[in-house]
Amino acid sequence: MYAGICALSVILLAFLSVIAWKQTTLWRNSVTLWRHTLSCTGENETVLNLLGSSLYETGKTLEAGERFRRALQFNSESVAAMDGLSVILMSECPTNQILATFRDLLASYPSNPKAHYDVATALLQRGEIVAAVNEYRTSLAIRESIDARSNLGYALLKLGQIEAAEKEFRKAVEDEPDNAAIRNNLGMALLNCGDSTGAIVQFRVAVELDPDNPTAKRNLEKALFHQSP
């Protein structure tokens, strides 16, 4: 029995090694593909972003960052390029320098919605909620984003602006009705407004969408308790 388990483990490890090798090969091939594409088509935002992503996956973060920055020169509002650059900076930058780093990026690309979103999120994590709200609103004024909309609602909820938070969460639910986290947040806003019935509806949907979500389950129990006579 033990020998059988050992043999199975060896087979499994070999299988996983093959999968890992194939994945690494795939990314290496992607880098080759996008480099070749650039040589044929010349530089453009889309291919630079794809090459940057492939380079990042192979651990070549320095060159990946250069490609993302080059993509931003073609389109300063590129969300994909800013997203890729943000991921690299967050992995390399000390936590206490994240906000300053994102502010520097924002100064370079003031019309980029993702740059405003990143600054807003860093501010929110530091507890600078009013400033975060302003940055989320600026980001949304440039381009609609479900994440920015939801985070704006959360920030407003933290400020005690319950009705304003509910409004943002409802907009987010309209855009993405199958998002359990947003349903849960809307439920919290409704519960804080005293609408336990509406909150229960949202929490139940959240649990149906994500049965393993402990927060939604806990909030549903809380709402049912508040509704009980």
Calculate the CA 86 to chain-centre distance.
11
Q: What whole-number distance in Å separates Cα of residue 125 and Cα of residue 24?
A: 34
| 138 occurs within a structural domain | no
| 101: in domain | no
- Domain end residue (candidates: 52, 69, 92): 92
Domain end among 46, 77, 92: 92
- Given 43, 62, 92, the domain boundary residue is 92
pLDDT at residue 40, rounded to an integer: 85
Number of domain units in the chain: 2
189-209 in b/e form (b: 16+ CB < 10 A) is: bbbeeebbebbbbbbbbbbeb
Residues 6+ apart with CB under 8 A from 17: none
Q: Mean pLDDT for each consecutive 10-residue tract of the chain (229 residues)?
A: 43 46 56 86 91 92 95 95 94 89 95 96 96 98 95 96 96 95 94 91 95 92 78
Confidence at residue 223, expressed as pLDDT on a 0 to 100 scale: 87
pLDDT of residue 41: 86
Q: Residue 35: what pLDDT? A: 87
Q: Would residue 117 count as lying in a domain?
A: no
CA distances for 204 relative to 168, 178, 227, angstroms: 20, 12, 14
- Residue 133 forms part of a structural domain: no
Domain span at residue 86 reads 35-92
In a domain, 107, yes or no: no
Q: Is the dihedral of CA 101, 103, 104, 108 positive or negative?
A: positive
Residue 115 lies in a domain: no
- Note whether residue 49 is domain-resident: yes
Contact status, residue 96 vs residue 64, Cβ threshold 8 Å: no
pLDDT of residue 64: 95
In a domain, 207, yes or no: yes
**pLDDT score at 228:** 63
Q: Residue 8: what pLDDT?
A: 46
The CATH number of residue 197's host domain is 1.25.40.10
